[in-house]
Chains A and B, each alone.
Chain A
Amino acid sequence: MAAKGWIEVSDTYCKGCELCISACPQDVIELNMSHLTPKGYHPAHTFKDGCTGCAICAVVCPDAAITVYREVTKVNTPVTA
């Protein structure tokens, strides 16, 4: 199963430049047209499931606005009988 992840986009920094949208390998990011940041931009957000937490959006983001999380897989948890 693919890894599950999620992103948080900061309203303070996001300028709606769309670079993360074209870079996202899963195509799950779009601009949130129903929300305006204090600066007057439509910020990016994930509009559907499928984020893997690969952080490519954060690598291309010019404003370091994206924080990326990935669900920790339970590899090392001891098996209880």
Chain B
Amino acid sequence: MTTPANNLVYERPEAFTDMPTHYCPGCTHGVAHRLVAEVLEEMNIMDKAIGVAPVGCAVFAYNYFDIDFVEAPHGRAPAMATGVKRVLPDRVVFTYQGDGDLASIGMGEIVHAAARGENLTVIFINNANFGMTGGQMAPTTLPGMKTSSSQSGRDVETQGYPIKVSEMLSTLEGVGYCVRRSLHDPKNIRLAKKAIRTAFETQVRGLGFSMVELLSTCPTNWGMTPVNSLKFVEEHMIPAYPLGDYKISEAIKQIKI
């Protein structure tokens, strides 16, 4: 029998601190955190990385990553990351934002950061509601979906249609890499990790703005078990938000991981 160290297949990433997360059981925020931590560790850029935490469920992200972090005002993470990156251009700067933060109050900041082609990486968590404040309707809420502020379902006549952020940002010249992935099963989690890796490689090579949109769950506010939440993502969210590569510039297609 060999020692356990030789037998190790998987362990908690070193880029994490010892602190347990405050997320609800089964929330895929934790999966997204883990993928970012694994990518930072694999690329050996933990010393160079600076994260920008949003307002929302991920507001305490700085407690969970063993890297430098700053906390931005609601929705202003891309603006703050722009400043950090311009002052410290050799650092790897990423924002981690939810849909309430990025697509609602922070829509102006994200669009202009992308339009300027800031050399940032954005991890965008789309779970179709405002999780932290109690599951209110977000710009990404699906038509007919019940939330605490759209109790008979989102009515598109009065409340409009969901905003497809990846499709929208992919039309901008400054964007180098813009894809949508999901976190609902092991295969898609692995694809999401590869996308996050490519997004960070884009930034390290200075190839422009990169964003990975991740379809995520909110079991507590959706009123479902974690397992049923994953099914909801597969059956309802993916048809509304098709997974795919919305923009990959020619230079980024050459990156081999």
Contacts and interface: CB of A to CB of B under 8 A. Distances in A.
**A and B form one complex:** yes
Interface string A39-61: 10100000000000101101111
Contact of A64 (B6, B16, B24): B16
Find the residue from A12, A56, A62, A66 having the highest chain B CB count within 10 A: A62
Interface stretch (B29-37, B47-55, B142-150, B241-249): B29-37
B10 A58 contact: yes
A22 B227 contact: yes
Nearest to A58: B10
Interface residues of A, number: 31
A72 B7 contact: yes
Given A16-B25, A18-B227, A5 B2 contact: no
Find the residue from B18, B34, B186 having the highest chain A CB count within 10 A: B186
B230 interface: yes
Q: Is the interface of A mostly helix, strand, loop or mixed?
A: loop
B239 interface: no
Nearest to A74: B2
Contacts of A69: 4, 7-9
9 contacts: A13-B21, A15-B25, A19-B230, A41-B25, A62-B23, A62-B25, A62-B34, A63-B20, A67-B8
Interface of B: 1-2, 4, 6-13, 16, 18, 20-21, 23-31, 34, 37, 185-186, 189-190, 219, 225-227, 230
